[in-house]
Amino acid sequence: MAHDHEHEHDHEEEHEQVDEETAERRREQEREFIRQRALAQIRQYPDVALQMRAHEVTEFDEFLVQLVERMQDLMHDAQGVGLAATQLGVLQRVFVFQPDEEPARAVVNPRLTIDESEKAIEDEGCLSLREVRVPVERATKVVLEGKDPNGDDVRYELDDLAARVVQHENDHLDGVLTIDRTDPESRKQALGALRPQPTFA
């Protein structure tokens, strides 16, 4: 009977594996649905808000706290590593970022001190530029200062991906996008990809 038993066992394992694959596929579909739903709430190029300079925050109130919470939720759902208020059409100098396993951080009225001595070129995506990724040169070390949503001072010394993310988000607050910072050839290709598709009706 040992053989039969083994056979039955194999069969069960196979079943479990198929169920596991189906479950994983469902989870992936669910994540993609959530991502698309979040992207639908984020301004997409060529929305004018993306090209405008945001204003200094003067009121550290409930609106600001709720804005930051909403931004963190959307960043998470959209599977992004950073999000600026201008990407929601809110012209306030606030962004959130989460380049690693650390909890998401929010910075209000950010000031960047950029160490110009070391730079790197990497492809960057943007939640407002659909699938476009373009090479952008950034400093690899920055100091980020500003306030948290409660109005308390914050200061972060960041490098590599974290440094890149906060430079990208800080650019958003000045109405500057990756396609404004990349080389002319990459910009041309990106603008081609972002051109609205003609519809024939």
Q: Which is nearer to Zn ion, 23 or 191 (CB)?
A: 191
Residue whose tokens read 């050839």? 185
Least Å distance, CB 4 to Zn ion, is 60
Cα separation of 119 and 187, whole Å?
20
Range list of β-strands (E), the chain: 82-84, 94-97, 105-114, 119-124, 134-139, 141-147, 153-159
Least Å distance, CB 139 to Zn ion, is 17
Which residue among 8, 16, 137, 169 is the active-site one?
A: 169
Please report, as a single letter, which amino acid is at residue 177.
L
Q: Which is nearer to Zn ion, 109 or 178 (CB)?
A: 178
Cα separation of 131 and 94, whole Å?
24
Extract the tokens encoding 80. 């992004």
Q: Which is nearer to Zn ion, 57 or 81 (CB)?
A: 81
Contacts to Zn ion by CB under 5 A: 126
Least Å distance, CB 83 to Zn ion, is 8
Q: Which is nearer to Zn ion, 23 or 193 (CB)?
A: 193
Q: Which residue is nearest to Zn ion (CB)?
A: 126
Extract the tokens encoding 142. 């920055």
Extract the tokens encoding 157. 């010394």
Extract the tokens encoding 68. 């930051």
Extract the tokens encoding 70. 């909403």
Least Å distance, CB 80 to Zn ion, is 8
Extract the tokens encoding 112. 């960047």
Active-site residue flag, 16:
no
Please give the positions annotated as active site: 169
